[in-house]
Structure 1
C-alpha cells in the first residue's frame, strides 16, 4: 500500500509516518510539503492508495485543492489533517467526499484508528460533530427521559452494550478494536452493529454515526 502524506511541517510528516507503520509491513510512503508537490506526486504513474493531506499548506486556497484532488482522482481515499476544529468546515469537506477529517489535536492512536476505518472502506466522522446537547423540541426539558436525542431515548431502542458499541464506532474504531475494548468477539460486534442499524433505520456505519448526533454525551 502506498500512502502519500502532505503537510508543510517535517515533525507532522515523520510523526504520521511513524504511527502508520503500525498498519503493517507492506507500506510505501511518499511525502509532499506544498500543493505543487502533491500535484507532482499524483502525476507520477499510479496514484497512491491513500492521500492524507493538510488543509492549510503552501499553495492551498480555501478548499480548492481538495476539490481538485476529488475531481482528478474521485476514487482516491482522501483524509484531511488540520489544526482547526471547525464543525462547519468538517461538514463541508465530508460533503465534498473526503473520507475523514482528523484534527491534529487528536492522539496518534485515534488517528491510526481513523485511518484503519478509511482503509476498510469507511468514513471517519470526528466525534465533535456529534451534538453534545441536542436542541429539545418546545415543551421538553433536559430532564425529560423521553426527549428526542437524549441518551435515555437511545436506551429505549438499544441495549447498554449496543450503546457502548456505538460510542466506539463514533471514535472511528474498526470492529477488531471495538471487540478488544469491550472484551467481546468480532462476530458479536457485527451482530450488535446490525441491530444498531435496524434500530436507527440506517444502512451503514457512517449513517449510524451521523444519526447519533441526536445523542447527548456520545
Structure 2
C-alpha cells in the first residue's frame, strides 16, 4: 500500500459530485439515443419532438436528482468495495477493481430485487431478463465509479479533486457531438437513398 492509498477516503463530497456529474452525462447520452430512436421510429400520432426542448430544464433537475440517488445507493458503495478489494488483494487500488465491483454490486441489486419480486409479488422473470438488468446496472455504475475513484485519488494526493466542471462540459459536448453526427449521417443517408 503506497502513501496515497493509506489514508484515503472514498466517501468524500468531491467524489460524490464527480460521480453525480458523470451520471447526468450518462443519462443525457441515453436520453439523446432514445430521442433519436423516437425520431427514426415515429409513433402513430406523429409528434415532432419539438416540445422536448421546453422540457429540457425539467429533465435536467430530474436527471440530477436521479443521478445523486444512484450515486449514493450504487456508485459510492461500488467505489468503496473496489478500494477495499484493491487494498486487500493487491496492496493498491487499481482502476480495474471498479468495473469488477460494479458487477458485484449490480448482481447484489438484481438478486435483491428479483427475490423481493418473487417473494412479495409472485413474479419471477426469465434468467435473460436478470442478466440484461445486471449488465445494464453494471454499465451504468462503472463509469461514474471510475470518476468517484479518480476524484478521491486526486484528493488523497493533495491535488484539486473537483471534476464536475470538466465532466459536465466535456460530457455535454460529447452528447451534442453524438447528436449532431447521428443527425447528419441520417440526413445524408436519407438524401442518398431517396
TM-score (norm. length: structure 2): 0.23
| Structure of larger gyration radius | 2
- Structure (1 or 2) with the greater strand fraction: 1
TM-score (norm. length: structure 1): 0.21
- The one of the two structures with greater contact order (alpha-carbon pairs below 8 A, sep at least 6) is 2
- Structure (1 or 2) with the greater helix fraction: 2
